[in-house]
Amino acid sequence: MASQTEVEHPRKAFGWAARDPSGFFSPFNFSRRETGEKDVAFKVLYCGICHSDLHMAKNEWGNSTYPLVPGHELAGVVTEVGNKVEKFKVGDRVGVGCLVDSCGTCENCCENLENYCPQYTLTYGAKYRDGSITYGGYSDWMVADEHFVVRIPDGLPLDAAAPLLCAGITVYSPLRYFALDKPGLHVGVVGLGGLGHMAVKFAKAFGAKVTVISTSPYKKEEAIQHLGADSFLISRDQDQMEAAKGTLDGIIDTVSAVHLLLPLIGLLKSHGKLVMLGAPEKPLELPIFPLLSGRKIVGGSLIGGIKETQEMMDFAAKHNVKPDIEVIPIDYVNTAMERLLKADVKYRFVIDIGNTLKPSP
């Protein structure tokens, strides 16, 4: 007997899902809606694995809905478009990031900031307006309103483009908004994972001088020789941190673990900006006096709007900014999650959906 998820919509779909907080993935039959008049349907060829996929699979944020098909870094090729679609045609290379809907009428939506709409709909584990659950990119095909679909330039490989739709825009947007995108500025990047390595690459592409700040001394060679950072600070080395005080125009902090902010604030010049992208489980301690004495700012940023995501994708293609990826088959996804938990990836897993996702007999 067919399950509710298989008959909820008219079109059959297939993917891999987590069924419970164990976070274990296995094959899953479900359904997607018909291609509406403003919809773009596309065959998913690649999907990046974001750390939030792991959090959601294990219900670590307490809001997961099972069965859960993660994936908000989708890249593929258009197979069908609705009769009112204006921006895309069959055969186009496209992607979908973290969002598939928003209210479209609030102040944020009107300013192309769908990512700050109070009613946005996430690409997976959320509810569409009709009440049905959204399923992400660990699946064979996707359908989304054309407004939330991004064109992937021809010069950008699809496997490398996928992580840009989350990791890429998450660092690009604050670099732009907080004006850390100017040649000659000195930008610090805290943490050298999926987000951090993209922050280094985009900041360098903007012409900034980049210092990586990490607790791990062994990452120095990687940061400088491979990723192109200009310098490296070990955050636990008080002498290094003291010598670098007051040298940075801004810091992109990608760390999700609880950590001290005071040493980072000390690295900033007057008027410097510390931008938080990670989401630690517990509140961080924020000393105010060091902010007052240098007119410094602590801010935050969450992904980016669709217009800016397209701008980021075009910039990445033009300046050859690509994530470092490890392409894996879908049946490796459980092992990949175990490795992700141990930070054993440089720097983003990307699932080869097109070649390895096969429906069950």
Q: Pinpoint the residues of the chain covered by CATH 3.90.180.10.
A: 4-166+304-352
CATH superfamily membership of 168-300: NAD(P)-binding Rossmann-like Domain (3.40.50.720)
Q: Where are the alpha helices (DSSP H) in the chain?
A: 4-7, 51-57, 107-110, 158-161, 167-177, 194-205, 220-221, 238-243, 262-267, 289-292, 306-319, 333-341, 353-356
For CATH 3.40.50.720, the residue range(s) in the chain are 168-300
**Are the C-beta atoms of 123 and 98 separated by less than 8 Å?**
yes
Query: Residue 35, Cα to own-chain centre: how many angstroms?
Result: 26
Distance in angstroms (rounded) separating the CA atoms of residues 147 and 99: 10
Provide the CATH number for the domain formed by 4-166+304-352 in this structure: 3.90.180.10
In a structure prediction context, what are the per-residue pLDDT tens digits for the chain, which is 361 residues long?
455 665 677 899 999 999 999 999 999 999 999 999 999 999 999 999 999 999 999 999 899 999 999 999 999 999 999 999 999 999 999 999 999 999 999 999 999 999 999 999 999 999 999 899 999 999 999 999 999 999 999 999 999 999 999 999 999 999 999 999 999 999 999 999 999 999 999 999 999 999 999 999 999 999 999 999 999 999 999 999 999 999 999 999 999 889 999 999 999 999 999 999 998 888 999 999 999 999 999 999 999 999 999 999 999 999 999 999 999 999 999 999 999 999 899 999 999 999 999 876 5
- Total-model pTM: 0.95
